[in-house]
Structure 1
Amino acid sequence: MTASVPHSPEARLVETRQRGWVDPYAGLDAFDYVRRAPSPGLAAYVEHFWVVTWTDLAEPYEQRIVSHPTVNMTITDDFHRIAGVIRGGFSYTMRGGGRVLGTRFRPGGFRPFLDGPVSRLTDRFPGIGEMYGAAGETLVRRVLTEPDIPAAVALVDDFLLGLGPRRDPVAEEVAALVAMAESDVSMTRVDALAARAGRSVRSLQRLFRDYVGVGPKWVIRRFRLHEAAERVYRGLDLATLAAELGYADQAHLTRDFTAAVGMSPAAYARLGGTGQPASGT
């Protein structure tokens, strides 16, 4: 299903940019994945729409995700819900054929659609109908019966715009801070991010709980684990990686990695065909 995607692991990573997928290249052989940009009026809140489709799977395929500090709205035959930030492991099993249409909000971008702090959604999956009543249920029915992907995406785009979100400068500040934490590999401490933001640590913690749903420490550590997963997959020495990512020692990285990814760094390195990382498990 993915013949158009380059088969070199490095090329495929660049092509798909699926940071957070566990064993991403195996996944791309099991299903098709596309992104679509939101309309200009929604771009301040939504990072992108994403659509996963699969057909005629001979065996069930489970895709595990090391989640991001974002809210997603997902519609599939199995469920239709709002997913807050998921701090633990998350996976979805595909069988036969199907489709998932997701809306990935920008960090802080769901706050204008919620009457209250985003932390109330953390580790929760309220239904779209529960959140938005009859209008939400109607949206779900229309999306599930619309076979055309661009048309289905347009239904969700129109629905969200119809909720009348208002631009929030604080949400945009939060999105910029989360992007900074993601892109700067040297960012390993909350006080460093607070200094960049011109805020106290306590102010930054309140801000992240209200707009992101989790604290800045979790956000920073999660992005460093994403980085760790990519580099372990390519066989980087684990002790070196632990030091670069701000861990006290290799054992602490191994513990966090195993909890988030669902397997040890050594096992994950074997998925990438690199064998065991040079220093331990």
Structure 2
Amino acid sequence: MSMAGFHDRGAGPVDVRVVPHPAVTLVLEFGDGPLVVDAATGRQQRGSLVAGFTHDAVRVRGENVECVQVRLSPLAAFAVLGVSSAELDHVVVTLDDLWGSAAARVRQRVGEVRSWQDRFALADDILTRRIAEGPSADPEVAFAWSRILGSNGGVRVEELASESGWSRKRLWSRFREQIGLSPKRAARLVRFDHAVHRLAVGADAAMTAVESGYVDQSHLNRDVLAFSGITPATMAGETWLAVDHIAWKDRGKNELS
């Protein structure tokens, strides 16, 4: 898991589009103003939140917002959240729905801590304890997920079963159960994430397509549209991507205004 701290310093309302990411997102909110998430379905959630993988067409907004945002590996998400990642695909839920009264206690504890580093340490302790007490993923599933991440989604998913030592049917079933996506969709999401971060730093779209393993630029365009609902040109300027190199560097724990 990796963490970042966000606060708006009274600079005015926050309103940003969420870009799908190959992790389950946990937001521990403790500011004066509630964090609000608007989904494409019209459903609205407030406060501390959990967002599944492909949370496309979702906007995050609020004012006087302060929060610790955690990107959870799907290998750890079930132990931390108490719910399968498969149940979180395309879903945004409140932490209260998953943790009950424990969510309010966590919000209070995080809000009482004065420095960001202490907040990170507290959140790390809370989540690490839950990971230690929860179930772990099968080694074969963890191996397949690692291969997909390590190849930026470029691994041939047909080869994963033979490399893991399991049958294709068993690996696909257990992977979907524990990761929350099929291996093919997981590889697409990881490849998409790699490509859009290249676009965000100004890389040429055609070259990005080639370097990210797409057949051509049209293939990249279709995947970006499928995951985000916008074009690669629009995606390149998204605030959500622009802050990543600041928010998630230095061992994954940073404060961002």
Instruction: State TM-score, norm by structure 2.
Output: 0.70
**1:46-67 Cα distance to aligned partner (Å, 9 max, x none):** x223212231325x44443432
State the number of aligned residues: 223
Q: Partners in 2 of 1:115 and 1:251 — Cα distance?
A: 39
Q: 5+ residue gaps in structure 1?
A: 1-46, 272-281
- Contact kept, 8 Å, 2:224 with 2:230, in 1: the verdict is yes
Distance in 2 between the 1:270 and 1:217 partners?
27
SS in 1 for 2:100: helix
| In 1, Cα distance between equivalents of 2:232 and 2:3 | 31
Alpha-carbon separation, structure 2, partners of 1:185 and 1:118: 20
Shift in CA distance, 241/86, structure 1 to aligned 2, threshold 3 Å: closer
> 1:52 matched to which residue of 2?
6
Pairing 1:116-195 to 2, within 5 Å after superposition: 117-161=84-128, 163=130, 165-166=132-133, 170-171=137-138, 173-185=140-152, 187-195=154-162
Comparing both chains, which one has the higher relative contact order based on Cα–Cα distances under 8 Å and sequence gaps of 6 or more? Answer: 2
In structure 2, relative to structure 1, the CA distance for the partners of 1:268 and 1:151 (3 Å cut) is closer
Shift of the alpha carbon at 1:249? 4.4
Counterpart residue number, 1:21: none
- Gaps in structure 2 of 5+ consecutive residues: 36-46, 239-257
How far the C-alpha of 1:191 sits from its partner, in A, is 0.7
Name which of structure 1's ranges 241-250 and 66-75 shifts more when overlaid on structure 2. Answer: 241-250
Q: Distance in 1 between matches of 2:234 and 2:23?
A: 27
Q: Is the 8 Å Cα contact of residues 82 and 125 (structure 1) preserved in structure 2?
A: yes
Structure with higher Rg: it is 1
SS at structure 1 position matched to 2:75: coil
Are 2:189 and 1:222 aligned? yes
Post-superposition offset of 1:74 = 0.9
CA distance in 2, matches of 1:63, 1:270: 11
Shift of 1:207: 2.1
- Once residues 164 and 254 of structure 1 are traced to their aligned partners in structure 2, the CA distance between those partners, rounded to angstroms, is 37
User: Shift of residue 206 of structure 1?
Assistant: 1.6
Matches within 5 A, 1:76-95: 76=29, 77-78=34-35, 79-93=47-61, 95=63
- Shifted more, 159-168 versus 115-124: the winner is 159-168
- Rounded to whole Å, the distance in 1 between the matches of 2:3 and 2:235 is 28
The question of 1:251 aligning with 2:205 is answered no
Judged with a 3 Å threshold, the aligned counterparts in structure 2 of structure 1 residues 108 and 64 are, in CA distance, closer, same or farther, namely same
| Post-superposition CA distance 1:79-111 (Å, at most 9, x none) | 11222223424442354x432212322221122
CA contact (8 A) 1:89 1:259 kept: no
- Quote the sequence identity (%): 25
State the distance in 1 between where 2:149 and 2:126 align. Answer: 30
Match of 1:75 in 2: 28
Q: Which residue of 1 aligns with 2:74?
A: 107
Residue aligned with 2:189, SS: helix
Q: TM-score, normalised by structure 1?
A: 0.65
1:231 Cα deviation from its structure 2 partner = 3.3
Q: Deviations over 1:236-270 (max 9, x none)?
A: 352x5445544454333212213334432244568
- CA distance in structure 1 between the partners assigned to 2:112 and 2:153 by the alignment: 46
Q: How does 1:2-41 map to 2 (within 5 A)?
A: none
Partner of 1:36: none
Query: Is the 1:74–1:103 contact (alpha carbons within 8 Å) kept by the matching residues of 2?
Result: yes
Determine the structure 2 residue equivalent to 1:37: none
